[in-house]
Amino acid sequence: MHVCVCVGLACLIAWDRLIQNVVLVQDVAVYNSCLITGGVYAAALAALAIVSFKRTWLPQHRIVLFAIVASGIAGLIMTVITDESASVFCVCIQSVGAVILLPIWARILCACSWRNVIRFVSCAVIATMAIVLMARWYSWLLPVLLTLTPIGAGVCALYITSRPNSASLFTHQDAQDSANLRKASANHANAQSDTANGAAAQTALQASLAMIKQPFPWPFLSVFALSALVAQFFAGVVAQPYAINSGSITLYFSIITMVMMVALALWAHFSKAKDVVTFFFPVLLLLIAGLLLFSTGVLNSLILPIALVYAAANCLYGMAWIILVQLVQRFGLRTVPSFAVGMLIAEGTIGMYAGIILHSSVSMNFSTITSVSIISIALFTVFYIVSSHLHQRTLRQTADEAIRAVQEVAKAMPEQLTPEQTARAASAQRARTADEYGFTARERQIVPLVVQGMSNGDIAAELIMSESTVKFHLKNIYAKCNVHSRSELSALFRV
């Protein structure tokens, strides 16, 4: 099943990147009619977002089959007919077909674990860059690939969704842990409401629960969206005459993108991070480096600067899939509208086509464009850093106030709180604190047992592991909490 997901997603992403990185650059008719092709794709995404905003919408199998057949026929027409209007029409048909398949693939990825999504997307983007290289070197392969990629994406999607209990193969442990935590906290709040002063206890515990929920990452999303738009805009500006006349640019940006995606997969595998915010900054530096090298003219050739920007644009597009999955899983956003809006920004429809249209209609100074882009990214980055710092400080202060409120309620109502309710309150506090320190799932299991006073041997027997493994996890826990003993750890997590 995982192989099928990887192959199907690779076909879907390759289908999109072939149009953006090859067809739009090589086909003069599509380039000159980008307002039509881009408008059709943007309108299809906007319609998808509107239709699925109030109610869940997934295309039926017969609609998916129709999209596959129509997109495949459009690819064949591009193979045998060289008429310019026919090429534009076929690209529009394929764009609509890709939008029809988007809801299904969004649902499939959102049912996967976060790290599996990174593996799938990384492998898909790496395969896509290889396909883009082949299509650029062997022009006769382009229409063939535009015929096969939609078929591959559609067939894999139908196969995955038609399997019985296919969703059970993809679990998201973080989402399940979050759901269990919220359920336990809600049960505790309901139990407190039955006591004499239950309203005060419920208010305090709801404040603590609010601290458990992660804040919506508007600062990061602002910087990410601006970076994607700037990268695609610049790619549209330099598509003619630079990218169309240089196969070396395609070779360079494909290799750079592959290296970055391999690095992303390795980083996700070996790191304990729960999002891709950290990895975003190397991609942002890649984009800024390309813009700086292009505007300053330090190098004798513009091939490498343009390739760096194209590589950053492709990396941001791949990361957009991962970020959208995270937003849906962690914040309960509606899947299809979120992906429709996210792809409209990150996929390049707005930025790249705007760059092409502006370049075609206005005589532009490239150094001015790059300078404005760098200043914009720098301002948004500063905004992100400052706002994140202020938010984290506010979060810590409010969290401390919530803990004190819970403690005061517990002291003021000793006869009202049963041992079970007190244990639930302690569990909610420990979960909030554990989330702050970035504990793994196993470390979250060990900390409550340490607070209860269990020895390493008892913990090992309880969790079915060796004592050496318990000691290893405790060492990591001590390092994350900056404590040196079990008593200090217990004091940190005890209500």
pLDDT bin (cut points 50, 70, 90) of residue 366 is: low
Q: What's the rounded mean pLDDT across residues 122-141?
A: 88
**Cα–Cα distance, 153 to 15 (Å, whole number):** 9
Per-residue HEC secondary structure of the chain comes to: CHHHHHHHHHHHHHHHHHHHHHHHHHCHHHHHCHHHHHHHHHHHHHHHHHHCCCCCCCCCHHHHHHHHHHHHHHHHHHHHCCCHHHHHHHHHHHHHHHHHHHHHHHHHHHCCCHHHHHHHHHHHHHHHHHHHHHHHHCCCHHHHHHHHHHHHHHHHHHHHHHCCCHHHHCCCHHHHHHHHHHHHHHHHHHHHCCCCCHHHHHHHHHHHHHHHCCCCCHHHHHHHHHHHHHHHHHHHHHCCCCHHHCHHHHHHHHHHHHHHHHHHHHHHHHCCCCCCHHHHHHHHHHHHHHHHHHHHCCCCCCHHHHHHHHHHHHHHHHHHHHHHHHHHHHHCCCHHHHHHHHHHHHCCHHHHHHHHHHHHHCCCCHHHHHHHHHHHHHHHHHHHHHHHHHHHHHHHHHHHHHHHHHHHHHHHCCCCCCHHHHHHHHHHHHHHHHHHHCCCHHHHHHHHHHHCCCCHHHHHHHHCCCHHHHHHHHHHHHHHHCCCCHHHHHHHHCC
- pLDDT tens digit string along 383-410? 777 777 776 776 666 666 666 666 665 5
Q: Which fold has domain 2-166+214-364?
A: Growth Hormone; Chain: A; (1.20.1250)
- Give CATH for domain 439-495: 1.10.10.10
Residues 6+ apart with CB under 8 A from 362: none
Q: What is the pLDDT of residue 408?
A: 64
pLDDT bin (cut points 50, 70, 90) of residue 173 is: very low
On average, the pLDDT of the chain sits at 76
Cβ burial 49-60 (10 Å sphere, 16+ → b, else e) = beebeeeeeebe
Domain layout of the chain by residue ranges: 2-166+214-364, 439-495
pLDDT bin (cut points 50, 70, 90) of residue 209 is: very low
C-alpha dihedral sign at 431, 437, 441, 447: negative
- pLDDT tens digit string along 408-417? 655 655 445 4
**Cα–Cα distance, 280 to 264 (Å, whole number):** 10
- pLDDT tens digit string along 283-295? 988 988 888 888 7
pTM above 0.85, yes or no: no
